[in-house]
Chains A and B, each alone.
Chain A
Amino acid sequence: MTVPRKQVHLGAHFPGVNSTTVWTEPDSGSQIDFASFEHLARSAEDARLDFFFLAEGLRLREHKGEIFDLDVVGRPDTLPVLAALAAVTDRLGLVGTINTTFNEPWEVARQFATLDVLSGGRAAWNLVTSPDAFTGANFRRGGFLPYEQRYERAAELVAVARALWDSWDDDAVLGDREGGAFLRDVEHVGPHFQVRGTFPTPRGPQGHPVLFQAGDSGQGRDFAAATADVVFSMHSTFEDGRAFYRDVKDRLPALGRREDSLKILPATSVVLGDTAEDAAERARVIRRQQVSGPGAIAFLEQVWGVDLTAYDPDGPLPDVEPDVGNADITRGRVRHVKDPRPVVAAWRARAEAERLSIRDLVIAVTSRGGFVGTPTHVADEIDRYVQQDASDGFILVPHLTPHGLDDVLATVVPLLQERGSFRAEYAGPTLRDHLGLDRPAEGRAATAHLDQQPVG
């Protein structure tokens, strides 16, 4: 008897606001029209993928004090898009990234309960925690949260949301004209929230929507281990992936959780070709589309902190020194480099040694890997990562809207199905079913249960 294979989980990421989305191709479609979202979602469901995924950003990025105009700018609002997709798909999970700093528990719990009801149990919430004041300037309370408190607020927000979802019993909606089940009032008093009342929205088919987490610090990993069903990670190379996987899964036993109750899904991209050489050549072309000349200069400006538009992207690296005090040149994007001087020195050395232009260097240093090769090679690799615990699957990030995953879904997914690593049919109707996650028992929140009330 063969040992059942560990199952691969796959999500489809709608390409969005970042430098990896290629918009200059004739077949790159609208980032806004619903038809684009519908195409990706329907094709993902036809291939039996676990879910469709939307990222979020709540302020337009700015560079040198102006809106950054070189990448895709603008996106629709996350939850209404997912609600609309619920109408044109039947099984596909619908994952929305919603920030925990700029939302209130009563409202966001209600929105996710609604999405779960409207989709028949397919809702998931990707919890992100960025608390920056630049984004906060769009909200009435402004940038009110110190960075250190981002996960404290997130944890309390989730605790309140769970209490609200649990305040309705599973069978509270009886459709019984005479009788009624029960719903409970919730009362929560904490450092970030004081919430009291009767939640107006029924419990969704999943009990709780599936919770994703995206955030990479130690605090983020602790929060994921304590809270999440899925981690959306950026550790997509084999060794890095394995290290991250162990690090997060090792946090689970102390919390009384089984390893398979938390799935780790890195973002990755796939470039296919008829031969390895074809695929490598396509990948090279795509990288150059992703990093335009002006885009390469803007990328360097983020590190240098000074205007570099006078430099030729096809020429050598700028000979000026970075401005150490100008870390805010780009806003609305996580800045990874604190002191630019060692970075600049290393890049100069590399460009010199490998004879790289500005654009070549940016292509080299922003390369995130991903899978490049024939469909068979890519299927082998995805399966290897999963069987050897470098991940539990992947969130596939295409570089084109909306057809960017068509080839992967048509060729790689069937190969994974053939080897028994990926489902040929959905096992159940809900996203929890697809991910093999338990459904939370009703009424598990340790919140005060006051005043039992009959419901319709």
Chain B
Amino acid sequence: MTVSPRSTHLGLDLSDAGPHPEAWRTSGSEPHRLFDPERLRELVDTAQRATLDFVLFDDAFALHTSRNTTLRGRLDAALVSARLAPRSAGIGLVATVDTTHTEPFHVAKALQTIDHVSHGRAAWQVAWSTSPQVTAAFGRKQVQDEADAVAEADEAVDVVRKLWDSWEDDAEIRDVATGRFVDRDKIHRIDHEGVRFVVRGSSITPRSPQGQPPVVVRATSSPARAFAAHQADVVRIAVTDRADAAVQRAEIRAAAAAVGRDPDEIRVLADVLVVLGGTAAAARERLALLDALAGDARRPDGYAHVGTAAELAATVEDWTVTGAVDGFVLRPAALHTDVDGIADEVVPLLRAAGAFRDTYPGTTLRDTLGLARPASRYASAIA
């Protein structure tokens, strides 16, 4: 499959009511429906109509510790993804799952199962935690610093990827003649004995449609950048401008090559906070209203687009064509307003400019991202 170099990748952050801490308090937010799965399904429908690459759900075991917001409460992101899978098609479903307090064995089979249920549209955004609140909630570890938590996340991803490979694709044989349901030579114990984990394996779940669901990492610190270069299929970067994005992308690709990976098998996406308005002034007014509601709460950091749909489309096209990024994770400041703007205004402009697809190129998220499906490492070891 060839994809025009001008075609961008677009993900959509559907966490909470939007990344702005006060998004839920603005008109139209339907706050009584914040935990209603049908509200999420409507948003996913919109994203799918716009053929966006994926929607993404943040998660953490504590209440929004990183963000000063008055909105409380969150559902388990993996189960939200699973709930949305049967009622969607084409679009990727990215669930954030922690590695600091979870078992890689549980994480592996959960993601594999979402991949089965969605016919190949699952992805995992890896989270780690340095929070004293979460540490106290689990009560079985000491608080870890970032370097330590990221090192553990790196090993957890290693364990999970081995478990994903532990069944070869054709392990189920149903050989009536010999009475064998599986070929056990194609199911492998991973026998992982690392620094932090000893896990025998195999997964209880057969290999999923994508083999390995894509792994998404937010490269927000220097340990996280090294981790991303080592393990991620999709890297999210926080940027200040196009030049910064280009530098970060080049660094990640170089770091990946240095650890023996093919940089073309990595997609680097810039986060952008999206505040749309009919005019640039109207968008600025919307943001001012949100900020005013927030009082002393902070608006999310990083690059923000505060302006018209046409301006955002131009930015997306410009950054993609110049190779600064492979695409964007759009973070609609208020979901109930900006998701429609993205789908109905920004995307049509991008399509008209030849800068974005108007169909899904295949059935899986890997197809959409243009990433190859990996073979099981155990299969290649034997062949």
Contacts and interface: CB of A to CB of B under 8 A. Distances in A.
B76 A173 contact: no
B179 A86 contact: no
Interface centre among B41, B71, B202 (most CB of A within 10 A): B202
A71 B176 CA distance: 11
B287 interface: no
Interface string A130-155: 00000001111010000000000000
Nearest to B172: A74
A196 B103 contact: no
Contact of B37 (A34, A86, A110, A177): A86
Given A80-B79, A87-B87, A114-B76, A140 B103 contact: yes
A77 B110 contact: yes
B328 interface: no
Contacts of A140: 103-104, 196-199
Contact of A292 (B33, B75, B137, B179): B179
Contacts of A106: 61, 101, 137-138
A455 B69 CA distance: 10
B381 to A, nearest CB: 17
Nearest to B136: A196
A344 to B, nearest CB: 24
A70 B174 CA distance: 9
B276 interface: no
B43 to A, nearest CB: 15
A410 B26 CA distance: 51
Nearest to B122: A80
A175 interface: yes
B24 A197 contact: no
B22 to A, nearest CB: 10
Contact of B73 (A88, A103, A200): A200
Nearest to B79: A83
Contacts of B74: 200-201
A14 interface: no
Q: How large is the interface on A (under 10, 10 to 19, 20 to 34, 35 or more residues)?
A: 35 or more
Contacts of B24: 177, 456
Which one of B62, B72, B136, B138 has the highest number of Cβ atoms from chain A below 10 Å of its Cβ? Answer: B72
Nearest to A142: B198
Interface stretch (B181-189, B229-237, B267-275): B181-189
Contacts of B106: 77, 103
Contacts of A79: 78-79, 82, 110
Nearest to B36: A117
A80 B113 contact: yes
Given A140-B196, A200-B72, A104 B138 contact: yes
B136 A83 contact: no
A88 B117 CA distance: 12
B179 A294 contact: yes
Interface in B76-127: 76, 78-87, 101-106, 109-110, 112-114, 116-117, 119
A195 B137 contact: yes
A202 B35 contact: yes
A79 B60 CA distance: 18
A77 B134 CA distance: 24
A59 interface: yes
Contacts of B71: 456
B204 A60 contact: yes
B139 A24 contact: no
A117 B35 contact: yes
A57 B204 contact: yes
Nearest to A194: B139
B70 interface: yes
B206 A32 contact: yes
A88 B86 contact: yes
A201 B71 CA distance: 12
Contacts of A438: none
Interface string A62-88: 000011011111111101110110111
Interface string A96-138: 0000001110110011001101100000000000000000011
Interface in A202-227: 202
B87 to A, nearest CB: 5
Given A173-B35, A175-B31, A200-B73, A84 B198 contact: no
16 contacts: A23-B181, A60-B187, A69-B182, A73-B172, A73-B187, A80-B82, A80-B114, A87-B41, A106-B137, A115-B79, A118-B75, A118-B83, A138-B200, A193-B139, A198-B62, A198-B133
Given A34-B119, A197-B133, 10 more contacts: A38-B86, A60-B187, A66-B184, A80-B113, A84-B117, A106-B61, A111-B76, A172-B73, A177-B25, A293-B179
Interface of A: 23-24, 32-34, 38, 57-60, 66-67, 69-77, 79-81, 83-84, 86-88, 102-104, 106-107, 110-111, 114-115, 117-118, 137-140, 142, 168, 172-177, 183, 193-198, 200-202, 292-295, 453-456
Return the 6 tightest CB-CB contacts between A and B, nearest first: A175-B32, A194-B139, A80-B82, A83-B82, A77-B113, A175-B31
Interface of B: 24-25, 30-35, 37, 41, 60-64, 70-76, 78-87, 101-106, 109-110, 112-114, 116-117, 119, 133-134, 136-140, 167, 171-172, 174, 176, 178-184, 187, 196-202, 204-206
